Protein backbone atom coordinates (compact mmCIF):
# COMPACT_ATOMS: atom_id res chain seq x y z
CA UNK A 1 0.00 0.00 0.00
CA UNK A 2 1.77 3.12 -1.19
CA UNK A 3 1.81 6.50 0.48
CA UNK A 4 1.03 9.35 -1.91
CA UNK A 5 1.75 13.07 -1.54
CA UNK A 6 -0.91 15.59 -2.56
CA UNK A 7 -1.54 19.32 -2.64
CA UNK A 8 -5.13 20.53 -2.37
CA UNK A 9 -6.07 22.99 -5.14
CA UNK A 10 -8.74 24.57 -2.90
CA UNK A 11 -7.05 25.20 0.46
CA UNK A 12 -3.40 24.61 -0.69
CA UNK A 13 -2.71 22.07 2.09
CA UNK A 14 0.13 19.64 1.36
CA UNK A 15 -0.34 16.18 2.86
CA UNK A 16 0.40 12.46 2.54
CA UNK A 17 -2.15 9.66 2.32
CA UNK A 18 -1.95 5.91 2.65
CA UNK A 19 -4.61 4.67 0.24
CA UNK A 20 -6.07 1.20 0.27
CA UNK A 21 -7.48 -0.43 -2.86
CA UNK A 22 -10.63 1.35 -4.04
CA UNK A 23 -10.17 4.43 -1.84
CA UNK A 24 -10.27 7.91 -3.34
CA UNK A 25 -8.04 10.72 -2.11
CA UNK A 26 -9.56 13.79 -0.48
CA UNK A 27 -8.14 16.69 1.49
CA UNK A 28 -8.19 16.09 5.27
CA UNK A 29 -8.76 19.82 5.90
CA UNK A 30 -11.53 20.80 3.44
CA UNK A 31 -12.61 17.37 2.06
CA UNK A 32 -11.99 18.49 -1.53
CA UNK A 33 -11.15 15.89 -4.16
CA UNK A 34 -9.59 18.62 -6.34
CA UNK A 35 -5.97 17.55 -5.71
CA UNK A 36 -2.60 17.58 -7.41
CA UNK A 37 -0.53 14.43 -6.89
CA UNK A 38 3.03 15.48 -6.11
CA UNK A 39 6.16 13.71 -7.30
CA UNK A 40 7.63 11.97 -4.28
CA UNK A 41 11.32 12.03 -3.44
CA UNK A 42 12.84 8.57 -3.16
CA UNK A 43 15.32 7.34 -0.60
CA UNK A 44 16.68 3.84 -0.17
CA UNK A 45 19.32 1.81 1.63
CA UNK A 46 20.82 -1.31 0.11
CA UNK A 47 23.12 -3.86 1.65
CA UNK A 48 25.72 -5.86 -0.25
CA UNK A 49 26.03 -8.99 1.87
CA UNK A 50 29.10 -10.30 0.01
CA UNK A 51 31.12 -7.18 0.89
CA UNK A 52 29.50 -6.44 4.22
CA UNK A 53 28.96 -2.81 3.20
CA UNK A 54 25.86 -0.66 3.46
CA UNK A 55 25.21 1.97 0.82
CA UNK A 56 22.60 4.65 1.06
CA UNK A 57 21.33 6.93 -1.63
CA UNK A 58 18.82 9.73 -1.50
CA UNK A 59 17.46 12.34 -3.86
CA UNK A 60 16.33 14.51 -0.98
CA UNK A 61 18.20 16.57 1.55
CA UNK A 62 18.94 15.54 5.13
CA UNK A 63 15.93 16.16 7.36
CA UNK A 64 18.11 17.34 10.25
CA UNK A 65 20.45 19.78 8.48
CA UNK A 66 19.13 20.45 4.92
CA UNK A 67 22.33 19.18 3.31
CA UNK A 68 22.81 16.32 0.85
CA UNK A 69 26.09 15.30 2.46
CA UNK A 70 26.75 15.38 6.19
CA UNK A 71 28.02 13.04 8.88
CA UNK A 72 24.53 12.42 10.30
CA UNK A 73 23.15 11.36 6.87
CA UNK A 74 25.56 8.50 6.49
54 with 36: CB under 8 angstroms?
A: no
Angle at 51 (CA atoms; ends 61, 47), nearest 5 degrees: 40
- Residue length of the chain: 74
**Spatial separation of the C-alpha atoms in residues 14 and 6, rounded to whole Å:** 6
- Per-residue pLDDT of 1-52, as tens digits, reads 578 899 999 999 999 998 888 889 999 999 999 999 987 666 666 666 555 5
Q: What is the pTM of this model?
A: 0.51
What pLDDT is stored for residue 31 in this prediction?
Answer: 96
Amino acid sequence: MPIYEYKCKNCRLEFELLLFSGEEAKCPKCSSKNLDKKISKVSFVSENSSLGETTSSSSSVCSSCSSKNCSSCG
